Structure 1
Amino acid sequence: MAILFDSDINWESCLNFGTRQFFKEKTCIYQQGTTGDRFYYIQQGLIKVTTTTAIGKERLLNIGIPGQLLGVQAMDRQPHFTTATVVNDSILYFFSCEHFQKLIKYQPSILNMFIKTVIHKMHILADKIYLDTLLPEQQLSVILLNICYEFKNFEVPLTQQDLTKCTGLTRITIYKILKQWKEEEIIEIHGKKFIIKKPDELKKLLGKVLI
């Protein structure tokens, strides 16, 4: 399992403070505009995080994978500004505000990791302003780099089908982009995961670093 940021937190022991939940594909975990009072740890599955514009258009912000946290921005009981939807059947642990207080007493380093997560999620939301003007390969670059930013390594546990479901790009478009990146040795594809060998090349595609 990937490790969030450069942390040595043993999440397996921390899960005892949370409540295990199973979510079926296409289930909404939380909705934009609803009041938050908990955060989630993704143990298994894939979560699409989106926001809805003033004209009602859905925009993809991020893809949640095992080892990541969801809903941290609304832990102060403020409205969610994103919607989290299950892409594949998933297992998550939720932690209420009360759970969180007990958790940071058990492992104080979680508070620092929690703050980093909130800051990163805010950056993702701000960067979305630019994403709509980007080409498909640039959009895909941002999504993959956002995922890798949160982990020690550059292994992304996603398939081409996962990226198609989450991004809204066509299967052919995803295939062509990944095929080109593979030929240029920017990425390697191993079964159900990508290994990003040259992240700087993906950043160059953007013209500026968005993460």
Structure 2
Amino acid sequence: MAILFDSDINWETCLQFGTRKFFKEKACIYQQGTTGEGFYYIQQGLIKVTTTTAMGKERLLNIAIPGQLLGVQAMDRQPHFTTATAVNDSILYFFSCDHFQKLIKNQPSILNMLIKTVIHKMHILADKIYLDTLLPEQQLAAILMNICYEFKNFEVPLTQQDLTKCTGLTRITIYKILKQWKEEQIVEIHGKKVLIRKPEELKNLLGDVII
């Protein structure tokens, strides 16, 4: 799962400790059940994070965007409990467990950030696995609000096509929902971005669902 991007950390100075990796659209970055060997920083692209239930059904948990991290929950070399897949061609930096100490020396605040956000993600995971049981409007609201929380910004850098690929909802469904929200001035569409004008309306739509 993706974790919180901390604006106080200068990731550009940290990339020297990582390995640059390219992932084509639909490529698997890591698979649920495989042993974690490090974490990833997303420089470019969109990453879909899913989990597979005991019944074999895939459930969408999150959409990770540039500036976020992936896979930190398996930094203790335990199996991943999610699968990360590239929604489009993406560039990530991989930081191995062995190089983590060098990274901490360069940016000590990273350790505290990882601990806090992993704890937070564990608290909300149980609620997110039921995302696909929600109504389409609630699914889209949950995804958008989660990205806003993760990225600390109410401007979401996703197109309608991106949302279609990531959520599994049809383009017509996404279009109709966003059209209605635009009419209600809940969101604005600016090119390849969705600006959330009334986040409280999306929260109300979710009700007791934790994001």
Scaled by the length of structure 1, the TM-score of the pair is 0.94
Q: Which runs of 5+ in 2 are unaligned?
A: none
Give the match for residue 55 of structure 2: 55
Moved over 6 A (4+): none
Summarize deviations over 1:45-101 as a string: whole Å, max 9, x none. 011100011111111100011001000110000000000011100000000012211
Give the match for residue 80 of structure 1: 80
Deviates more, 1:144-153 or 1:157-166: 144-153
Does the CA contact (< 8 Å) of 2:60 and 2:131 recur in 1? Answer: no
Give the match for residue 71 of structure 2: 71
Distance in 1 between residues matched to 2:129 and 2:14, nearest whole Å: 35
Counterpart residue type for residue 98 of structure 2: E
Distance in 2 between residues matched to 1:123 and 1:190, nearest whole Å: 33
Distance in 2 between residues matched to 1:90 and 1:13, nearest whole Å: 20
What SS does the corresponding residue of 1:125 show, helix, strand or coil? helix
CA 1:128 to 1:209, structure 2 compared with 1: closer, same or farther past 3 Å? closer
Give the match for residue 10 of structure 2: 10
Measure how far apart 1:198 and its partner are: 1.1
Give the match for residue 116 of structure 2: 116
CA 1:40 to 1:6, structure 2 compared with 1: closer, same or farther past 3 Å? closer
Counterpart residue type for residue 136 of structure 1: P
Measure how far apart 1:134 and its partner are: 1.4
Measure how far apart 1:169 and its partner are: 0.6
Measure how far apart 1:209 and its partner are: 5.0
Distance in 1 between residues matched to 2:112 and 2:65, nearest whole Å: 20
Mapping 1:23-172, distance limit 5 Å: 23-172=23-172
Counterpart residue type for residue 189 of structure 1: I
Counterpart residue type for residue 90 of structure 2: S
Does the CA contact (< 8 Å) of 2:51 and 2:129 recur in 1? Answer: no
Measure how far apart 1:128 and its partner are: 2.2
Counterpart residue type for residue 67 of structure 2: G
Distance in 2 between residues matched to 1:119 and 1:200, nearest whole Å: 25
Distance in 2 between residues matched to 1:11 and 1:29, nearest whole Å: 20
Deviates more, 1:97-106 or 1:86-95: 97-106
Distance in 1 between residues matched to 2:180 and 2:123, nearest whole Å: 28
Counterpart residue type for residue 135 of structure 1: L
Identity of aligned residues (%): 88
Number of matched pairs = 208
Q: Which runs of 5+ in 1 are unaligned?
A: none
Measure how far apart 1:6 and its partner are: 5.0
What SS does the corresponding residue of 2:62 show, helix, strand or coil? strand
CA 1:123 to 1:137, structure 2 compared with 1: closer, same or farther past 3 Å? farther
